[in-house]
Structure formats: structure tokens, C-alpha cells
Amino acid sequence: MPPPANIVKVAIEWPGAFPKLMEIDQKKPLTAIIKEVCDGWSLANHEHYALQHADSSNFYITEKNRNEIKNGAILRLTTSPTQNALQLHERIQSSSMDAKLEALKDLASYSRDVTFAQEFINLDGISLLTQMVESGTERYQKLQKIMKPCFGDMLSYTLTAFVELMDHGIVSWDTFSVAFIKKIASYVSKFQNDIAILQRSLAILESMVLNGHDLYQKVAQEITIGQLIPHLQGADQEIQTYTIAVINALFFKAPDDRRQVSVSLIEYVIRAQRAINNEMAHQLYVLQVLTFNLLEDRMMTKMDPQDQAQRDIIFELRRIAFDVESEPNSNSGNIEKRKSMYTRDYKKLGFINHVNPAMDFTQTPPGMLALDNMLYFAKNQQDAYIRIVLENSSREDKHECPFGRSSIELTKMLCDILKVGELPSETGSDFHPMFFTHDRSLEEFFCICIQLLNKTWKEMRATSEDFNKVMQVVREQIMRALTTKPSSLDQFKSKLQNLSYTEILKIRQSERMNQEDFQSRPILELKEKIQPEILELIKQQRLNRLVEGTCFRKLNSRRRQGTNQDCFICFLKKAYIVMGKSQHMFTICKLIKELF
């Protein structure tokens, strides 16, 4: 018969004694269970004892977490959190360096437990640690020549205990003095070769910036991005991760006018690592999101049609495309002529509003960001820009790929793909290495994608009615290329070369056929059953088309005579083959041929 659900069978250890097997009644108060255990080993003052897990966590068992005890668990009888906190509070103030070092080592370990942390903090333990960092370390630094390893370990354990205690969220980060912030910031420069101290110092700075309401300015005055860059060039990925975390924190809290960081500096970090761990991936993802979010203001800014500076950008696009050196004189006789010329050119540029193209940029998103991208493309890849504009302006109206409209919709699509304006997720890790290879990565990304759009438009032989279909294909091409995680923008461009419209159609067909539903037995049986009927229907439709007749384009007089006849006979031969060489089809072909 199984034991009651409230009974848990465990083993309890005590130093110097054999473990004791006993059954714990979860309905009994924890203090009564501890008294029972103490009585078994004849220990007085049971209120000074507690139970904790005997695994590597060493976490105390409380009334809140006691339900986590499982059958077969190994527990340990130990000093209560209150007594342990009192003892460690005294030991870390010892005049003996060895005793102090051992106490700080124990404190760093015990501080991970929130139960102990609460007791130690109640003894004003955080203030004691900050005082040791602010002033106490100077006294120990004087002894560095004779006890350098001891000093380094002592400071490392002090900072570790501080980080663990603060991670529980019991004490506000806003309570710390400028002297403490300066000391932590100084460690980032002084202890470049001491991984433990450097790591804890960076972790503290990150938490100060993110969790303190008024600490950004104080931290930013003591540490700059330039001081952090050398740590990105080291070989330790963990230090690089903590460094990027601090950069992200400063970036996130900085005012808009100070949010600047050269993301191309991070390229070294990515290339230097064979494998990027999860935490590094998360920090790179956060930096990528924060960087693209700098574009949100332009993305949500409407163009003011009355703003001459903004209108000048459109004039510049027109000038680059058509190499306009001078304009007609502005006297009254040429006003209409000038307006007509502007309208014609704006139509060639592919704007929706030919008369006042500024109106095309009043929708948000993408707002002024689309115009920024167009100007960047026109100036930095001028030959490609001119080729696209002139190539499309020479096509028939319905077949032209409108550069203006395409650029606006493409910018909107890229903002959606890159989630511009959204806050980074706490668990996100999806970053793209290629965006860390250029400080104007979005603009370069746009330049590649607008050329892709024009190429896909031609491959699809699209008309103006197909605009949305083309944009869907382009989005698929971009997304499929991004999933390969290209390491550079050039590699991304190469990936797109292998994702033509024809290839996209093949991939779609392959994916549809590989879906489990299409390979299931009922589907295959149905396909086999109706296939003959469908083929017969296709033949009848083709035959009806031949009987009813069709239209052939008219050839001009310069082409040789008889071309119409030859094309039609060729068409009949192909139809004859497609129709399965039926006798009925043969007779029709023979009669029509005789008419010629």
C-alpha cells in the first residue's frame, strides 16, 4: 500500500554522524520536524538549526518551498539562516586576512539563497560590503606586493557576494553612492587581466544602469564606450558578453541624441568566436534591436509638404536620375512648362502623386525613412539607381516597376521584418551577423533589396496589377536568405542570386509536395482516381480552344511574309503532340493546314 501523499521519505545528514532515514509529514510545522531531527541527535536549541538541500545549491528549506521535497531526497541539518548570517557578518570583519578570505568565500556561496540573503541584508550587510569596496580595499592594496593573490580573491568574493545579494531584488540600486560607482568603474580598467573581478564589475555596472532610476548619468560619467571596446578585443567570450551587456544598457538608457555606437566594432567579436553561446547571442540580439530602433523616429515622421529642406531631397533624386544641370527660368512664361516637366519626371521616378510627390511620404510607417533610403541609394550606388529609373521609365506604363512606390513599400516591409520600434525580448537571441559589418546596415540592406525587387519584377513579367504579388515574392526571398544567417551583406546578396522567382516557385512546389497531408494514403488514392478524368478534361479544353480559334499578334510589314502561317502551323504541331495524337485532332490539323 503506497504511503499517504503528505508523507515524504528522505535521508538527513549531520557532520560526524550516519545519515538518518525518516519520514516527513508535510502537514506538520517545519519547526516541529527540525526539533524532531535535533532530538534524534541530542542537539539543544533547535531554533538555531534548519534543513537545507544537500546538493550543490545548498538552499534552505522553508515553509514556502518545502513542497518541492521529493521522495528519496537527501537533506542536511545545518545552522539556521539567522545564525549563519550573524556569524558571517562577524567573520568578514576579522582582522585576520585568511579568516576574512574564507568568510567572504562562504558569503559568496550562501548569498545565492534568498532566505539567507534576506537575513544578511537585515543586518545591514550590503552597506558593510559597499564600505569594504569604497574604502577598505585601499588598505589591502598597500599589501598587494606581498599578498596579491589573496587581495584579488578577496575582492572577487566580495563583488560576487554583492552581485548575488542584489540579484534578489530586496535592496534598491538607487541607494549607492558616487564613490561606490567610481570604484566599480575603476576596476573595469585596473583589473583587465583578472577575469573574475572584471566580470563582476561589468555585471554591477549593467545592473546599475538598467535597474537604477537615476544612475545612468552617474555611470555614464565614469565609464565610456571607448573604455569598454578593449574588452571586446580579448579572447574571453564571457567578458565580451558582459561588455556588450553594459553597452546595451548604456544604449538603452541614453537620451536619443547620445544613442550612438559603431556596431561594426562588434564584427570582431562575432568573427573571433567559433561558437557563440546563448547569452552572447541574446546580447547581440538586444544590440541589433536597439540599433534599428534608432530609426523609429524617422519611420514615424511624416513629410511636411511645405518643408523646403525635405522637398530638396526629392529634387536631388530627380537631379541624379536625369542629370538636370539647370532649370528653366522662373518667369511667368515658363512656370507651366516647369510644372509639366516636374510631373513627367516624377512619374518616371515612380511616385504615386506625380504633381506633389511629397504626399507619398505622409504615411507612417515608413514616413521619412523611405526617403532617406532612396537618397542613400541614389548617392552611394548612383549607377544602379539611374539604371533602375531609366530602365523602368522606358517600359510600357503597365510594365514599369515604379521606383518611388516600390521604395516606400519595401522600406515598410524591411521595418516589419526587422521589428523596428519594438522593445527587445528578454529571451530573444535571433541576431544577424551581417548587420554588424556596416554602420549604415539598414541603408545597405535596402540597396540590395530594391535591386532584388526590380529583378524579380522583370522575372515575373509583372504589371501594375501584380504589385502586391511581387512584394510577397520579394519578402519570401528576403526571409529565406536571412534564415541562412549570412555573415556579410555581400554573402546575403549572393544568397539572393540563388533565390530567383523560378527557384521560389520550385521551392514552394517542393514544400507543398513534401507536406505530410499530400503524402497521406487517402490523398494519393484520390489523386490516382481523379487523374484520368482531369487529363481528359484538359484535352477537351485545349480542343475547344482550337475549334473556337484564337488571336495572334499583328506583324508589321517589315517582317517576312508567311511568318503568321509558319507560327500557326508550328502551334498546331505542338497541339497535335499535346493532345496525344488523337485521330480527331489529326483530322482538324489536316483540314486547317489545307486552308493555307
Give domain status of residue 578, yes or no.
yes
Give domain status of residue 394, yes or no.
yes
Instruction: Write out the DSSP string of 319-356.
Output: HHHHT-------SGGGHHHHHHHHHHHHHHTT-S-SS-
- Name the strand (E) or helix (H) holding 155: helix 144-166
Q: Comparing C-alpha atoms, which of 209, 297, 197 is closest to residue 256? A: 297
In this predicted structure, what is the pLDDT of residue 526?
A: 82
Q: Comparing C-alpha atoms, which of 266, 272, 255 is closest to residue 288? A: 266
Cell representation of residue 543: 480542343
Residues 410 and 505 both lie in one domain: yes
Measured between alpha carbons, how far is 163 from 17 in angstroms, rounded to an integer? 35
Give domain status of residue 161, yes or no.
no
Residues 484 and 414 both lie in one domain: yes
Residue where a domain terminates, one of 513, 534, 552? 513
Cα-Cα-Cα-Cα dihedral sign, residues 513, 515, 516, 522? negative
How many independent structural domains does the chain possess?
A: 2
Measured between alpha carbons, how far is 197 from 208 in angstroms, rounded to an integer? 17
**Residue 579 pLDDT level (bands cut at 50, 70, 90):** low
Give domain status of residue 152, yes or no.
no
Measured between alpha carbons, how far is 413 from 589 in angstroms, rounded to an integer? 52
DSSP letter assigned to residue 303: P
Beta carbons within 10 angstroms of residue 41's beta carbon: 13
Residue 566's alpha-carbon distances to 539, 542, 569, 587, 593, in angstroms, are 23, 20, 5, 19, 10
Give domain status of residue 415, yes or no.
yes
Over residues 172-187, the pLDDT tens digits come to 999 898 999 999 999 9
Highest mean pLDDT among 247-256, 326-335, 398-407, 490-499: 490-499
Measured between alpha carbons, how far is 289 from 424 in angstroms, rounded to an integer? 6
In this predicted structure, what is the pLDDT of residue 485?
A: 94
Give domain status of residue 356, yes or no.
yes
Residues 439 and 563 both lie in one domain: no
Give domain status of residue 532, yes or no.
yes
Residues 458 and 539 both lie in one domain: no
Residues 474 and 525 both lie in one domain: no
In this predicted structure, what is the pLDDT of residue 547?
A: 79
Strands 49-53 and 74-79: antiparallel
Residue where a domain terminates, one of 513, 538, 571? 513
Q: How far is CA 222 from the centre of its chain?
A: 29
Measured between alpha carbons, how far is 404 from 426 in angstroms, rounded to an integer? 37
Report, as an integer, the average pLDDT of 431-448: 94
Cell representation of residue 332: 511667368
Residues 433 and 355 both lie in one domain: yes
Residues 498 and 576 both lie in one domain: no
Least confident of 346-360, 479-493, 525-539, 582-596: 582-596
Over residues 33-91, the pLDDT tens digits come to 999 999 999 999 999 999 999 887 789 999 999 999 999 999 999 999 999 999 999 99
Residues 354 and 380 both lie in one domain: yes
Edge-to-edge strand order for the sheet containing 74-79? 17-25, 7-14, 74-79, 49-53
Asked if 117 and 165 count as a contact pair (C-beta separation under 8 A), the reply is: yes
In this predicted structure, what is the pLDDT of residue 561?
A: 46
Residue where a domain terminates, one of 482, 513, 544? 513
Report, as an integer, the average pLDDT of 420-448: 93
In this predicted structure, what is the pLDDT of residue 527?
A: 81
Strand-pair partners of 30:
none
Residues 409 and 365 both lie in one domain: yes
DSSP letter assigned to residue 60: B
Residues 423 and 529 both lie in one domain: no
Over residues 134-150, the pLDDT tens digits come to 875 555 555 455 455 57
In this predicted structure, what is the pLDDT of residue 39?
A: 93
Q: Half-sphere exposure of 337 toward its Cβ, with a 13 Å CA cutoff?
A: 8
Q: What is the mean pLDDT of the chain?
A: 86
Residues 411 and 495 both lie in one domain: yes
Strands 74-79 and 7-14: parallel
Asked if 70 and 54 count as a contact pair (C-beta separation under 8 A), the reply is: no
Over residues 224-241, the pLDDT tens digits come to 888 888 888 877 889 999
Measured between alpha carbons, how far is 108 from 112 in angstroms, rounded to an integer? 7
Residue with the three cell numbers 546596415: 441
Residues 354 and 487 both lie in one domain: yes
Cell representation of residue 330: 522662373
Q: Comparing C-alpha atoms, which of 149, 163, 170, 51 is closest to residue 108? A: 163
Domain holding 586, by residue range, is 521-594
Measured between alpha carbons, how far is 129 from 155 in angstroms, rounded to an integer? 10
**Residue 525 pLDDT level (bands cut at 50, 70, 90):** confident
Give domain status of residue 160, yes or no.
no
